[in-house]
């Protein structure tokens, strides 16, 4: 992927992020308005009747039908004596209406929505002020993206390294490394042909030493997973490689192995000096084979 394409993807991601943020703000604003209106409607009490207002008229037809004139059994009230008892007290006024539980619930919901809206708005303002949400902000360089690192092209071969110590003998490998520049990033291909040997260390020539050829493990790494550091004329490449097996005619399958590896190399200088360095896998190291290693650093 070129750097222009990467910048386009970064811009698309930023636009999508702002679109999602606008949608969230709209939903929170709508929820705040709706909850506020409902809280107001349920919180306002009904109007109390004005003092001195006339009592509502009562239809006495039912009483008339139940007790027609002349059929009441109660004795008539005396007409020659004035009523000395105090008039019955007026009925107590009903307590003022207050907001019920629904009004309080809507009020709390409105307050929560307003708080969330404020927090999201502040976060958006901070992101806009610092430029972290814009597409114009360049993506930070990864740990392996050193602007002083040259473009690397070449192949490296190393002597034998013990991968695993067994009860009888060892499993040895003879690393093969290919480096190339891939659109501004460094890409490394690691090939580990393995041999089972009845020796205490990795022999210089496994076939001549009677070792038995075993599987070949493969791994590929690119920056920033592959860290590239420059120390003067010397380059240091390191990372963690999870290997896979590539049987002929079948899809690759994981080997179950992951190695911490490091390559330290000094490219060929202008005077035509050889490529020098070493390869470390785990805690074991092996020098580069000069006559089989070529590396150009532009």
pLDDT, tens digit, 9 for 90 and up, residues 53-65: 555 565 666 666 7
Contact 161, 247 (CB under 8 A): no
Higher pLDDT, 113 or 250: 250
DSSP 249: T
What's the pLDDT at 182? 78
Rounded distance between C-alpha atoms, residue 71 and residue 284, angstroms: 123
Q: Are the C-beta atoms of residues 268 and 275 closer than 8 Å to each other?
A: yes
pLDDT at 26: 74
φ/ψ of 133, rounded to 5, equals -100, 0
Query: What does the pLDDT look like over 216-227, one tens digit per residue?
Result: 999 999 999 999
Residue 67 has what pLDDT?
67
Neighbouring CB atoms inside 10 A of 159's CB total: 18
Give residue 236's pLDDT band: very low, low, confident or very high (50, 70, 90). very high
pLDDT tens track for 73-97: 665 555 555 555 556 666 665 555 4
Tens of pLDDT, residues 24-47: 677 767 777 776 666 666 555 555
Long-range contacts, 34-42 (Cβ 8 Å, 24+): 35/106, 35/107, 35/109, 35/110, 35/113, 36/106, 36/110, 38/102, 38/106, 39/103, 39/106, 39/107, 39/109, 39/110, 41/103, 42/99, 42/100, 42/102, 42/103, 42/106
Q: Which has the higher per-residue pLDDT, 139 or 21?
A: 21
Q: What is the separation of C-alpha 2 from the centre of its chain, rounded to a whole number of angstroms?
A: 25
Phi, psi at residue 66, to the nearest 5°?
-75, -35
Distance CA(151)–CA(168), nearest Å, equals 44
Q: Are 139 and 284 in contact (CB under 8 A)?
A: no
**Which tokens belong to 205?**
């020539």
């Amino acid at each position: 992927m070129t750097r222009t394409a990467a910048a386009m993807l970064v811009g698309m991601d930023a636009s999508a992020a702002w679109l999602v943020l606008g949608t969230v703000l709209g939903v929170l604003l709508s929820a705040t308005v709706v909850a506020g209106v409902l809280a107001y409607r349920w919180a306002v009490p009904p109007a109390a009747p004005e003092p001195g207002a006339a009592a509502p008229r009562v239809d006495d037809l039912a009483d008339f039908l139940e007790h027609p004139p002349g059929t009441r059994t109660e004795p008539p009230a005396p007409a020659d004596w004035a009523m000395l008892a105090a008039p019955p007290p007026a009925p107590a006024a009903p307590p003022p209406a207050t907001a019920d539980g629904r009004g309080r619930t809507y009020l709390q919901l409105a307050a929560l929505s307003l708080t969330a809206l404020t927090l999201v708005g502040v976060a958006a303002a901070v992101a806009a002020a610092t430029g972290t949400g814009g597409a114009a902000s360049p993506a930070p360089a990864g740990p392996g993206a050193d602007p002083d690192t040259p473009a690397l092209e070449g192949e490296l071969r190393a002597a034998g390294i013990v991968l695993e110590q067994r009860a009888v003998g060892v499993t040895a490998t003879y690393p093969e490394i290919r480096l190339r520049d891939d659109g501004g990033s460094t890409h490394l291909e690691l090939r580990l042909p393995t041999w089972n040997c009845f020796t205490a260390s990795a022999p210089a020539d496994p076939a001549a030493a009677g070792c038995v050829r075993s599987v070949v493990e493969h791994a590929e790494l690119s920056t920033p997973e592959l860290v590239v550091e420059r120390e003067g004329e010397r380059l240091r490449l390191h990372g963690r490689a999870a290997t896979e097996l590539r049987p002929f005619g079948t899809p690759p399958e994981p080997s179950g192995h992951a190695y911490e590896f490091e390559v330290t190399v000094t490219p060929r200088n202008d005077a035509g000096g050889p490529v020098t360095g070493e390869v470390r896998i785990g805690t074991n190291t092996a020098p580069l084979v000069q006559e089989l290693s070529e590396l150009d650093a532009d």
